[in-house]
Chains A and B, each alone.
Chain A
Amino acid sequence: MASFAERMASALVLWLAVYLSGTWAVDKGNFKTCDQSSFCKRQRALKPGESPYRALLETMELTNTRLTLQLINDNNKVHLLLELYRLQGNITRVKINELKPLKPRYEVPDVLIREPPTEPLSLLSQDENGVVLSLGVESQRVIISARPFRLDIVEGHEVLMSLNSRGLLAFEHLRMRKDTQADPEPEKKEEADPDNQAETAKEEEEKVEEGMWEETFKSHSDGKPNGPSSVSLDFSLPGVEHVYGIPEHADTLRLKTTDNGDPYRLYNLDVFQYELYNPMALYGAVPVMLAHHAQRTTGVFWLNAAETWVDISSNTAGKTVFGKMLDYVQGSSETPQTDVRWISESGIIDVFIMLGPTPKDVFSQYASLTGTQSFPPLTSLGYHQCRWNYNDQEDVQSVDAGFDEHDIPYDFIWLDIEHTDGKRYFTWDPHKFATPKEMLQGIMDKKRKMVAIVDPHIKVDSNYKIHNEIRSRGFYIKNKDGGDYEGWCWPGSAGYPDFTRADMRAWWASMFAYDQYEGSMENLYTWNDMNEPSVFNGPEVTMHKDAMHGDWEHRDVHNLYGFYVQMATAEGLIQRSGGVERPFVLTRAFFAGSQRYGAVWTGDNAAEWDHLKISIPMCLSLGLVGISFCGADVGGFFKSPSTELLVRWYQTGAYQPFFRAHAHLDTPRREPWLFGPENTALIRDAVRQRYTLMPYWYLQFYQAHHTGQPVMRPLWVEYPQDPATFALDDEFLIGRDLLVHPVTEEGVRGVTAYLPGKDEVWFDVHTFQKHNGAQNLYIPVTISSIPVFQRGGSIIPRKLRVRRSSSCMEHDPYSLYVALNPQRTAEGELYIDDGHTFNYEKKEFVHRRLSFANNLLSSVDLAPDAQFTTHSWIERIIILGASKPSKVTLKTADGQESHIDFEFDASMSVLTLRKPGMNSGADWTVMLQ
């Protein structure tokens, strides 16, 4: 019970003293700027408009599935191979690699769910200046210009996107290292062989710049045996003023231009006390950017796992609204345009251009490449109670009892690193957690669950089974000299398993078997933290880039590491149940495709109002690139929140996909009942609101799993033609039908929410007050207010009988909230399954369409081939914006009719149908007369 520091190994203390000292802001000096990353500096020094690349049209080959073409760099005569594919679903893939690299360059495996199916390309025309190909749909064409090389995708007369239009394609070819001592200056040989002896010619032309063959950052030296290998390409987006995505950054939803600072960086890093509103890299990286204007949404997926920087510039960024109007009035305006440039340290250029045209199309297109959000167990959508750390089994038991005592529901209680035996994952502290199964059984008796942390750093300790096995199987990542790579992390000296190896992942997965992971039970799930990977004594708190994963350098695979850790862990949880149960795994690091394996959170935030605010754009950005199951630590991880902030954070978190409270070891306890009865009641109310909406959340995840649509959405996704929505990130939609504008400011008495939709109406879910769309609505708030609105035209199923966990609510009846639009219609869906197995894949579920029109509300089967028996029934139907009927009749599938009692509140136009009582899975119709 000494303080944290006293318990740590002395070397770790030393590190921590350095790492944790000082102020509450990130130590920016620990992380590289573009200038300190030699490839970024080299690439960024290139000036636009001087592209040395030329397409060698005579090398063009067009098959049924692809076009290939060589490019030549006229400066160094290096040949590149361009591959162009038309993929199903309006996607164009462009790959550029060296024609004959000295050794293979890394191509990212395992992220695409399959080799994307292609569609035929056809040649429309060709001359010495270029080639025109048809993309099949809507007069879409690809124009390849030869000199300089440039690629334009056009539809009709409109250019959708141009590649290398600014001439910033730059592909550093692999080369032999020259003996710099003997030949410090590149010697101009007069060979000038005009024939294709490019190999000799190009060597001579290259300048040797600093940082090409090694670079040092803060005493960490990066040997680069392969030399310079970076790649870069620019994209122009005519008509576009809004770009989004490329998480993870603590920044606004709408990405900013980077002309006056560093580019956005994608390099998974364990950033201590990250700073808000800047382009620094954080824990995860999804190299996907969406571009949007009122007529079209497109996306670019840059499939590269190395350190990546993204520059954004815009020709309108500097202009004021007035300036833009002036341009418009004078007709002198150039078209707005956003230019984006991607720079990666190694690998190849492999780009998927998703052509939309709607936001939903882009989501589907991206989902067709990397898959959709995994369908989580229903319970994982409930409330999660976490803290670093619950001290021991008694502590767990008393926190669990505290929730019952204060009648606050929760589903998962979490254990952080202190539950292990000396930070040896898969083990339990023999004193504090001596009988984990007893503890888990106690949790299970309440129909609740637990998550225990399993990090990927493995304590180097010959008495630790996991370490011994990994070492003896040769599964550790190697250092550049071939030995096992070791770094410092929580356990002290630690090895890092090579999760890029399929055999390693299979072994790791097998460790989650009940007979391997001692003390585990079926209600124990997993949390993968520190998987950037975090290496306390490594450069930028991560792994040395010259560490080796088999033949590949860590440099090549860095951003994939966390993705693979979660993949292997999720697989382990599936396997332990014989493939029956859905896994739940939370990860901090992620990459494109991570959505397939579970949830992510926004890492180690702080108990500050700005951190509460930023949770919205951070999760919105993740949702846009497929990762829907996102949340921020409720209350803030570092520091201690004021009571008001804590309450507001619960209110916000209750309406975000992953709802977990978490706190740092050094902060005072903050279980929901520790702040007096009023605040306990406020938090209880927020959590209960979450639980009443579980059917709606579950449906959203079912749909996300099927379609790739984000669960938590920016408004512009549903209102793509309304520019007022384009930059909104203090409010959001859950699915289509709920708009949430949480209170994220201290001490305010009101918020202004934008309600979109010119001909739409929105109903306050608490008061049923109706508001018109397309307006900024001022909403007076008190400390209990969570401004939430249901869209007129929607039907939302709720369960109003909130119990102590979501499992307890399984068979409870539904209440249907029918919010009528001005046309007096509404639509919604209801999805029910067992909540935890993969049996839904075997069509064991109920999926109904609920629709209201012409005073008829009916439930029809959306999946007639599916079968599932539910005990749940329809308890009440609340129709918002209704008029008073004279009678209400229920007609069931067998043709029987019965009268339904109802109440009508004329002041709010709310009609409540009392206890219609039909089974939720049945066909029925309710008639208002």
Chain B
Amino acid sequence: MSSRFHQLLPMLLLLSVGVSAVEVQRPRGVPLSKRQFYEEGKPFTCLDGSHSIPFDRVNDDYCDCQDGSDEPGTAACPNGSFHCTNAGFRPAFIPSSRINDGICDCCDTTDEYNSGAACQNTCREMGHKERESLQKMAEIAKEGFVLKQQLIQEAKRGIEDKKAKLVDVQVVKKDLEEKVEALRTVKETAEQPEKEAKERHLKNFTIRWYYQKALIRMEKDKARMAVVFLELDDDADGLVSVSELLSHSELDPDSDASFTEAEAQGLLGGVDKVDTEAFEAVWNNLKEKYVSEVTTYTAAPVETPPEEVREPASDNESEQYPEDDVQEDEEEEDEEDEDDDQDDADYKTPPTPATQEKKDDDDEGTMPPYDQETQNLIDAAQKARDDFDEAERALREVDDQITNLEKEISFDFGPNAEFAYFYSQCYELSTSEYIYRLCPFNRVSQKPKYGGSETNLGTWGKWAGPEENVYSMMKYEHGTGCWQGPNRSTTVKLTCGKETVVTSTSEPSRCEYLMEFTSPAICGEPPSRDSEPRDHEEL
């Protein structure tokens, strides 16, 4: 069992790409950096200092040291590690358990010295490949890094632009605020005479209107009385009798469930029968309670008693007029939505010409047009209002602009704002089944290619990379809930690339998506020549 015995291996080390070779003697599996601890012929002290053993117990395929340091070249220690020189490629440590396990782990084949595994030395090939790919990556990184610098510059400019804009806009805002205030004064000044003129007009109209209204109501009451008389007069003898009245128990004055003849008589003014004229005299006793036999007959609504009608309140003036409402609506839509009905009832009770038209159609009077003087005042006030509203709207827009600018300026677009260019962009990847859409800092979604609705795979949550590289990952959370599962979420992994593309998506765990996304913005500074991988590290 040759493996059990210590061997000093002539290590063939290639300097650079094999210009000259140097033999360095040391026990198998020991890196050059630790060579000095393994001195042939001298007792070996476990690297943890725990105890010393004769040197012939180093690499004798029995684990003597707790830390595994006596068996760098065998699988004897469970916690040992083996150093592959991997000349031509990168040196590596592998767990001791991979020595002679029949699987080639070191590209220089040194881990399989006694297993019969037919390993090929692939270090040069791998080194070549790695160098190529590193070179490629370095190129990408280099170009990417250049792009990144541009991005940073752009972002800087962008931010500066935005900051400048913010300043500008704030100036604009200030101007606008002043303008709004000025216009408010103009408006209020114009509205005062308008209001007075309107009030005058309304007052005139109101007096006429109430008079007219009272007449109409009286007519209606009479008409109803006639109908009721006819209804009550069951035998059509032109008289309403006590007995005819008794069939209307709702008229019972004390509502005690027994409508007596005496009570009916009382209602008829103490007589047994009344004709139409006498009926008119007792009508007031009946009309409140009477319920028509003919259900289709719609009794005239009992109008709001005049004394309850509020005088048009001057401070609410604008809201009383439909032509004003149209404009007010926009502004106050949100607040008003819920209690529209109630508001209507509240301040539309005093009939304005418009509402009256709607309500009563044609049987009641409409408000006459304003006289020219009033109309002029109204027009002037309206213009002042329009100007004021216009200015206010502009101010709001500016406010929004400021909010957005401030948000964008303060948003975490990376240490140098290099990720700012993603903002309000979307990137798509089409797979065989779906189109994935990544809108950075906003949301990720998935849409079936052949019909079907879009699924939200998460909305922007946070930067979620590891502590040392927090900008290498984005987390999108709280997407559409999964059937019997959690809400969908997506992790977006950023890697360095010249282009900004989504390169792949997967669903490693149910409803947890992973998206690979390349961008120059994540490219690190390309390694300088000195730190490139070397095969002569140990010299």
List the interface of chain A (C-beta within 8 A of B).
1-6, 20, 391, 395, 407, 431, 445-447, 665-669, 688, 800-804, 807-809, 812, 873, 875-876, 914-915, 917
Contacts and interface: CB of A to CB of B under 8 A. Distances in A.
In this complex, the member of B76, B97, B486, B508 whose beta carbon has the largest number of chain A beta carbons within 10 angstroms is B97
Interface string B466-499: 0000000000000000111110000000000000
B485 A666 contact: yes
Contacts of A3: 482-483, 485, 510-511
Where chain A touches its partner, the secondary structure class is loop
B429 to A, nearest CB: 12
Nearest to B80: A801
A1 B507 contact: yes
A669 B508 contact: yes
Interface stretch (B35-43, B98-106, B394-402): B98-106
Given A1-B505, A1-B513, A446-B103, 5 more contacts: A1-B446, A2-B446, A6-B483, A668-B509, A669-B512
Interface residues of B, number: 35
A801 B76 contact: yes
A111 B511 CA distance: 45
Contact of B97 (A4, A803, A873): A803
A726 to B, nearest CB: 40
A804 B62 contact: no
Contact of B455 (A2, A800, A917): A2
B75 A803 contact: yes
A391 B97 contact: no
B482 A431 contact: no
B510 A876 contact: no
B492 to A, nearest CB: 15
A354 to B, nearest CB: 45
Chain B contact residues, majority secondary structure = loop
Contacts of B247: none
A5 B102 contact: no
A77 B482 CA distance: 64
B449 to A, nearest CB: 12
A6 B451 CA distance: 13
Given A1-B433, A431-B432, A668-B510, A808 B103 contact: yes
Interface of B: 1, 4, 60-62, 64, 75-76, 78, 95, 97-98, 101-103, 432-434, 446, 448, 455, 482-486, 505-513
Contact of B482 (A391, A666, A876): A666
B508 A391 contact: yes
10 contacts: A2-B433, A3-B483, A20-B484, A395-B508, A431-B432, A668-B509, A669-B512, A801-B78, A808-B102, A876-B62
Contacts of A668: 486, 509-510, 512
B11 to A, nearest CB: 25
A330 B106 CA distance: 79
Contacts of A873: 1
A801 B97 contact: yes
A669 B483 contact: no
A421 to B, nearest CB: 15
Contacts of A4: 483-484, 510
Contacts of B64: 914
B510 A391 contact: no
A599 B103 CA distance: 29
B481 to A, nearest CB: 9
B75 A666 contact: no
A668 B64 CA distance: 43
Contacts of A809: 101
B78 A800 contact: yes
A917 B3 CA distance: 12
A512 to B, nearest CB: 27
B140 to A, nearest CB: 22
Contact of A666 (B98, B102, B434, B510): B510
A205 to B, nearest CB: 55
B62 A447 contact: no
Contact of A808 (B60, B76, B101, B511): B101
A915 B102 CA distance: 23
- The 6 A-B residue pairs with the shortest CB-CB distance in the complex, in nearest-first order: A808-B101, A669-B509, A915-B62, A5-B483, A1-B507, A803-B97
Nearest to B488: A3
B508 A445 contact: no
Contacts of A395: 508
A432 to B, nearest CB: 11
B321 to A, nearest CB: 56
Contacts of A807: 102
B31 to A, nearest CB: 19
A445 B103 contact: yes
Contacts of A804: 97-98, 101, 103
Contacts of A917: 1, 4
